[in-house]
């Protein structure tokens, strides 16, 4: 079997497509998948730099979401059969020809979605739905502020917010990404290089009922000030640092809440688990995807043999949505 290996921690050049030996047969409750494509996520970049190690027991191969075909099922698996077209949420191992996945973390490829585009869904959809809906309780009439509207998470969150009847505001650093956000359903566009999102949210609205934040420390104070009363700030990234001072007085005055969540280290089963999130996606989000209300936004498809060219695309001014690595023909 071939997979992406790391010569060391560092820049994209440390990644190589190389033989790694045979993958063991799937264990009880697991499914082996022949990978068609793998989504590229910010977490992969952090792991490449040595800043985001996989959880205990997980593969040290990069890749948190894939699409492909079921190759083999382990003992006790009855919901999936060899040949099924699926996409899956992983704790690691996606940048490879084959991967073993707990059966509870599989989803069918939605109707109308290509096998390649389906690889852009599991990690992104699970992150957005678990934070906006399951944690923050986003609903019709709410005002949602999304930082990084042009990212893979951002483009998906815009569509989910719009589908649920929320007013969607986004921040981005270029007019190109803001206009693409408008096309996806955002109604308020904030260029963070020229505008203060706190001023926009507190003058055009009464504040944000839900904020989806990828920045962490550098945005904490302003995010709290941008909240509406009873608002929820959900932090899913630390691109702006891990530490900051929190003004509890402002948070108290708004009866606000701050949540920081991590998908990769959630348990496989039980309350708050990956299995619970995947079940919610299949019940509530997958119908929206099948009818075309929410669609995967893929900016680039890169052969996995050129993986070193794929990671820099996450920071490109031209990239809106996801970058996907293609492993084999569908």
Q: Is residue 166 part of a domain?
A: yes
Q: Do 208 and 154 share a domain, yes or no?
A: yes
Q: Do 26 and 138 share a domain, yes or no?
A: no
Q: Is residue 271 part of a domain?
A: no
CA triple 28-34-39, angle to 5 deg: 105
Q: What is the domain extent for residue 157?
A: 125-260
* CATH number of the domain within which 192 lies: 3.40.50.720
Domain count, the chain: 2
Q: Do 21 and 55 share a domain, yes or no?
A: yes
- Length of the chain as a residue count: 330
Name the pTM for this structure.
0.96
Query: 64 phi and psi, to 5 degrees?
Result: -110, 0
Q: Other CB atoms closer than 10 Å to residue 49's CB: what's the count?
A: 11
Alpha-carbon span 4 to 96, nearest angstrom: 6
Classify 5 as helix, strand or coil: strand
pLDDT tens per residue, the chain (330 residues)? 999 999 899 999 999 999 999 999 999 999 999 999 999 999 999 999 999 999 999 999 999 999 999 999 999 999 999 999 999 999 999 999 999 999 999 999 999 999 999 999 999 999 999 999 999 999 999 999 999 999 999 999 999 999 999 999 999 999 999 999 999 999 999 999 999 999 999 999 999 999 999 999 999 999 999 999 999 999 999 999 999 999 999 999 999 999 999 999 999 999 999 999 999 999 999 999 999 999 999 999 999 999 999 999 999 999 999 999 999 988
Domain boundary among 242, 260, 278: 260
Q: Do 244 and 141 share a domain, yes or no?
A: yes
Say if residues 9 and 49 touch (Cβ distance below 8 Å). Answer: yes
């Amino acid at each position: 079997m071939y997979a992406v290996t790391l010569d060391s921690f560092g820049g994209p050049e440390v990644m190589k497509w190389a033989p790694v030996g045979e993958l063991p047969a799937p264990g009880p409750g697991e499914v082996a998948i022949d990978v068609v494509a793998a989504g590229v996520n910010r977490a992969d970049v952090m792991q490449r730099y040595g800043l985001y190690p996989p959880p205990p027991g997980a593969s040290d191969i990069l890749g948190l979401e894939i699409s492909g075909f079921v190759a083999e099922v382990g003992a006790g698996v009855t919901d999936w059969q060899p040949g099924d077209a699926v996409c899956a949420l992983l704790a690691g191992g996606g940048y490879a020809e084959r991967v073993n996945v707990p059966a509870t973390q599989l989803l069918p490829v939605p109707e109308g979605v290509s096998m390649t585009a389906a690889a852009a869904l599991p990690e992104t959809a699970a992150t957005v739905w678990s934070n906006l809906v399951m944690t923050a309780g986003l609903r019709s009439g709410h005002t949602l502020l999304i930082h990084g509207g042009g990212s893979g998470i951002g483009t998906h969150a815009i569509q989910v917010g719009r589908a649920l009847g929320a007013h969607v505001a986004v921040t981005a650093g270029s007019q190109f990404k803001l206009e693409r956000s408008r096309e996806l359903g955002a109604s308020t566009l904030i260029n963070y290089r020229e505008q203060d999102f706190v001023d926009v949210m507190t003058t055009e609205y009464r504040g944000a009922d839900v904020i989806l934040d990828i920045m962490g420390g550098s945005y904490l104070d302003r995010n709290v000030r941008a909240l509406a009363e009873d608002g929820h700030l959900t932090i899913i990234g630390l691109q702006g640092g891990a530490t900051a001072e929190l003004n509890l007085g402002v948070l108290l005055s708004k009866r606000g809440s701050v949540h920081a969540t991590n998908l990769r280290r959630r348990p496989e089963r039980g309350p708050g688990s990956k299995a619970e999130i995947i079940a919610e996606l299949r019940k509530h989000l997958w119908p929206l995807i099948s009818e075309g209300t929410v669609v995967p936004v893929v900016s680039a498809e890169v052969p996995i043999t050129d993986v070193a060219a794929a990671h820099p695309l996450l920071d490109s001014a031209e990239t809106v949505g996801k970058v996907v690595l293609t492993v084999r023909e569908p």
